[in-house]
Amino acid sequence: MSAAAAAGTWKLGDLEVNRIGYGAMRLTGNGMMGNSDGTPIDRDVAVGLLHSAFEEGVNHIDTASFYFSPLRSANELINRALSSWSGDVVVVTKVGPGRDPSGEWLDTVRPDQLRGQVEENLRQLGRDCLDVVNLRAGGPRTASIAEHFGALADLREAGLVRHLGLSGVLPEHVLAAQKIAPVVCVQNSYGLDWRRADESGLVDLCGEQGIAFVPFFAVSGLRREAAAGQEHDARVHSVADAHRATPAQVRLAWTLHRGPHVLAIPGTRNPAHLAENIAAGSLRLTEEELALLDKPDEGTD
């Protein structure tokens, strides 16, 4: 069994993936806007990192055409890596937000502009059909996604997209979208320190509907795109010490324990962190440890 398969598998529609995947946002820098002026990651190093992930069983990559810095594009790096890889890898991208070539964020995209964004991903990834496309909503306060999701459903019928998902949504958005076309995954910010998707019932709804729930910022939490820093949660340190694991591994394991439909897409440019993230899939937390992590943090160490 590969390392990434230790946590089991889940199906995105008819595409079976290991529950430990990889998020490509950090490949071009520290997030979508940070670190853009720093030294870009070497292309061969980036491709090697992706190949290392594939070799460990990672077969689910999360990306977007708007993941780029002045000299690097996540989609381009993934394209290069997949062109020299013989195995099957499911690539999940997202549309909705957009940036101009200089990196400036554009106004909210209209439904009729989604085809252009899908085609942009097709060109960059070198694909004729995208495995999964997530509609990134304008945020939980978005009133309706029906028109935008309907436009993507039309592209699915046209053969440009295989499966559809959602990102940054509430339960009512999922239910509305399901009436238009099948939803195979939902991506929302979620982790030990950010439990809005529990409070809204979204995680449970996805499980009931057979939809993958794919949290982002599961490790960084409220730090979001910020670089990984020192762990200050005493609960996490306690569990990590008991398993001789890292705090990041404990945070990922806690997320995966939330349900068999919950996937993980941690991203990194560090080969050692990549190996640690993948190994988190084999970490089994006890009921007592899960209860401890669910208690309020009692301080730092």
Q: Who contacts 287 (Cβ-Cβ below 8 Å, separation ≥6)?
A: none
Q: Is the pLDDT of residue 247 over 70?
A: yes
Q: How many CB atoms lie within 10 A of CB 182?
A: 15
Note the pLDDT of residue 296: 64
Mean pLDDT value across residues 282-296: 92
Is-above-0.85 flag for pTM?
A: yes
Note the pLDDT of residue 164: 98
Note the pLDDT of residue 144: 86
Note the pLDDT of residue 176: 97
Note the pLDDT of residue 224: 46
Residues of the chain with pLDDT > 90, as a percent, come to: 78
Amino acid at 45: V
Residues of the chain with pLDDT > 70, as a percent, come to: 90
CA torsion sign for 292, 294, 298, 301 is: positive
Going by pLDDT thresholds of 50, 70 and 90, the confidence category of residue 24 is: very high
User: 172-176, 217-221, 258-262 — which is least confidently predicted?
Assistant: 217-221
CB 163 within 8 A of CB 12: yes
Of 233 and 139, the structure prediction assigns the larger pLDDT to 233
Q: Is the pLDDT of residue 129 over 90?
A: yes
Note the pLDDT of residue 228: 54
Q: Is the pLDDT of residue 227 over 60?
A: no
Q: Determine phi and psi for 155, rounding to 5 degrees.
A: -70, -30
Note the pLDDT of residue 118: 98
Note the pLDDT of residue 33: 57
Inter-helix orientation angle 171-178/146-157, to 10°:
40
Question: What is the C-alpha to C-alpha distance for residues 261 and 284, in angstroms, rounded to an integer?
Answer: 16
Going by pLDDT thresholds of 50, 70 and 90, the confidence category of residue 139 is: low
Q: Is the pLDDT of residue 34 over 90?
A: no
Supply the mean pLDDT for the chain. Answer: 91
Note the pLDDT of residue 140: 56
Q: Is the pLDDT of residue 20 over 70?
A: yes
The catalytic residue among 10, 54, 67, 213 is 67
Note the pLDDT of residue 61: 98
R_g (Cα) of the chain, nearest Å: 18
Q: Who contacts 245 (Cβ-Cβ below 8 Å, separation ≥6)?
A: 239, 253, 280, 283
Q: Tokens representing 131?
A: 């495995």
Determine whether 67 is an active site residue.
yes
Tell me the per-residue pLDDT of 144-183, one tens digit each, with 9 for 90 and over: 899 999 999 999 999 999 999 999 999 999 999 999 999 9
Q: Is the pLDDT of residue 301 over 50?
A: no
User: 93-107, 131-145, 280-294 — which is least confidently predicted?
Assistant: 131-145
Going by pLDDT thresholds of 50, 70 and 90, the confidence category of residue 259 is: very high
Could you identify the residue written with the tokens 């499911």?
90
